[in-house]
Chain A
Amino acid sequence: MIAPLRVIARLGRYTLNGVSRTGFAARFFLAILLHSGTAFRRFGLTIREIYFAGVLSLIIILVSGLFVGMVLGLQGYETLETYGSEEVLGVLVALSLVRELGPVVAALLFASRAGSAITAEIGLMKATEQLSAMEMMAVDPVARVVAPRFWAGVISMPMLAALFSAMGIFGGYLVGVVMIGVDEGSFWSQMQAKVDFGEDILNGVIKSVVFGVAVTAIALFEGYDAPPTAEGVSGATTRTVVTSSLAILGLDFILTAFMFRGVS
C-alpha cells in the first residue's frame, strides 16, 4: 500500500476504535446505574470506598485549599490595593473559590489521588483474574466492585470541594486580615453581601457533583478496560488522570457558560 493510503487507513482505524470505545463506555456507565442497587442496599461496601476515595484524599485537599486561598489573598490584595478597594478581598477570594477553584482544583486533585488509585486497583483486579473469578462465583463485578466505588466518588467529591473552598477562604482570611491587616468586618461583610447562596454556592456544589461523576466514571472505565498486563494498567492509570483532567476543564467551561451567563 502506498504511504498516503496507509495514513488514511490508520486514521480510519483510530476513528473506529474511538467510536467503539465510546460505545463501550456508554454501555458501561449504563450498567453501573442499573446495578447500583447493591451499593445502597449494602451501604457498608460504599462506606469502605468513601474511606479510600474521600477520607484518604482529605490531607491533600485541605493543604492545597489553604495554600490556594493564601495565594489568592496575597495576589488579590496586590491588585485591589492599586484601586484602593482592599475591602472586597473577601469577595474576590470567596467567589473565585466557591465558583471555580474549589470544584475544579479539588476535582483535579481527586482525579490524580483517588481516580488513579481506582483505575490501578480495578486494572489489577482484572489482570489477576479477580473480576473473572467473581463472575464465575455468580457475583456481578459491576454491582459488587464498580458501583460502590462510583457512588463513593460521587458522594465524596462535593464534600471535598466544599472543604477545599472553606479551607481556601480561611487561607485568604489568614493572609488578608491577619497578616496584611485588611479590615476584618468588611472582609466578611462584603463577602456575605456579594456571595449568593443559590447563584454561587449551589452552582459550585452542582459543578463538583458533575465532576465527581465524570472523574469516577472515567477512572472505573479505564480500569475495567485496561489490558490485563503491567503496562496496560500503568497506561490506563495515566489515561485516567489525563482524560479526567481534560473532562473537568471542558465540563467546567460548559457548566459555567450555562450557570453564570448574564450574572454580574
Chain B
Amino acid sequence: MENLVEIENVTFGYGARPVLKGINMTAKRGQVIAIMGSSGCGKTTLLRLIGGQIKPSKGIVRVAGQNVAELEQDGLYRLRRKMGMLFQFGALFTDMSVFDNIAFQLREHTELPEEIVRDLVLMKLHAVGLRGAANLMPSELSGGMARRVALARAIALEPMLVMYDEPFAGLDPISLGVIGNIIRRLTDTLGLTSIVVTHDVQESLKIVDYVYFISEGVIEAEGTAEEMRASGLPFVHQFVHGEPDGPVPFQYPAPPYAEDLGLSL
C-alpha cells in the first residue's frame, strides 16, 4: 500500500514554545490511523499541518506526494478539495440548515444542477443516518447529531483523506459507538484514508489499523491496536488503562509542596 500522508521529522512551535519535536509518521491509503495523547500535546496542531493551515518550522509534510508547505494558495485549495475535516465540535455553519451545510462545498466548487446537489446531499445524509434531519438548523441538533452532520459534510466531495479532530469528545456511549462505526464503514466503503486524533483509547482501538502515541511533542510509541493493548511500555500502559499517575505525572511541574507552603526545614 502506498503512503498518502508522510510526515518527516517535523518540528513546530507557537512562538518560542515547541509543540512538536521531530515527528515521523505515515498514513497508508485505506487505513484508519489514530493519533493519541493527553490533552494539549499537539495532536490538533498535527492536523493543521497536514491541512496546510500552518507551516512546520522544520521538516516536511507530504500529502499525495506534494509538499504542503510549498504550495501556493491555488495549489493548496486544490489539494484541500480532496481532504475532509471533522472539527472538534462540528463547526457547522450556524446560519445554514443541515442541508445547506452539506451542499456548501458542492455549490462552491461545482456547477452541478440543484437536483443533483439535492440527491448527493441526501445520499451523504443517509450514510450518517440523518436524512430526516435535512431541514433542521444546527442549533436544533444534539451534540452527536451535529458530529454526524459534520461528518457528512466532510465527505461531501468524496475526499481521499478525512481528518477527525476529537470525534468522540463529549458524546454519550451510544453516539460514541455510532461515530466509531461510521468512521470505519466510510473508510472501507469509500476507500478513504482516515486520521483520527483522539484521547479516547477504548473507542478508537476498536476501529483503527495503526496507532501513534504522542507525549510532550515526540512519538512515544506506535503500532497496531493489538500491539498497543499488549504493550509493556509504561506510558502506553498508563494511557490505555487510564491510570491517574505514572510517566505522565498528576502534578503540573511546581516547586516542592512543602517549600510552596513555607514549611521548608
Contacts and interface: CB of A to CB of B under 8 A. Distances in A.
Question: Do A and B interact directly, with beta carbons closer than 8 Å?
Answer: yes
Interface of A: 124-125, 128-130, 132-140, 144
B80 A129 contact: no
Given A128-B94, A138-B77, A138-B80, 11 more contacts: A125-B94, A128-B89, A128-B91, A130-B91, A130-B94, A132-B87, A132-B91, A136-B80, A136-B85, A138-B108, A139-B108
Contacts, number: 49
B53 interface: yes
Contacts of B83: 136
B166 to A, nearest CB: 12
Contacts of A125: 93-94
B105 interface: yes
Contacts of A137: 80-81, 104-105, 108
Give 5 closest A-B pairs by Cβ, nearest first. A129-B91, A138-B77, A138-B80, A133-B91, A136-B85
B87 A133 contact: yes
A216 B170 CA distance: 37
Interface in B64-99: 73, 76-78, 80-81, 83, 85, 87-89, 91-94
B94 to A, nearest CB: 7
A130 B53 contact: no
A138 B91 contact: no
Contacts of B53: 132, 135-136
Contacts of B91: 128-130, 132-133
Interface residues of B, number: 21
A124 B104 CA distance: 19
A137 B92 CA distance: 12
A128 B165 CA distance: 13
A136 to B, nearest CB: 4
Contacts of A133: 85, 87, 91, 93
9 contacts: A128-B89, A128-B94, A129-B91, A132-B53, A135-B53, A136-B51, A136-B53, A137-B81, A139-B108
Contacts of B73: 140
Nearest to B86: A133
Given A138-B78, A138-B80, A129 B89 contact: yes
A51 to B, nearest CB: 12
B240 to A, nearest CB: 29
Contacts of A124: 94
A12 to B, nearest CB: 18
A125 B92 CA distance: 9
Contact of B87 (A129, A138, A139, A144): A129
A135 B105 CA distance: 11
B109 interface: yes
Nearest to A121: B95
Contacts of A144: 108
A177 B44 CA distance: 68
B93 A138 contact: no
Nearest to B89: A128
Contacts of B93: 125, 130, 133-134
Contacts of B77: 138, 140
Contacts of B88: 129
- Counting chain B CB atoms within 10 Å of each CB, the highest count among A124, A135, A140, A144 belongs to A135
Nearest to B108: A139
A248 B78 CA distance: 41
Interface string B222-242: 000000000000000000000
A133 B51 CA distance: 11
B51 to A, nearest CB: 5
Contacts of B89: 128-129
A166 B76 CA distance: 51
A249 B173 CA distance: 57
Interface string B108-126: 1100000000000000000
Contacts of A136: 51, 53, 80, 83, 85
Contacts of B87: 129, 132-133
Nearest to A144: B108
A145 B2 CA distance: 38
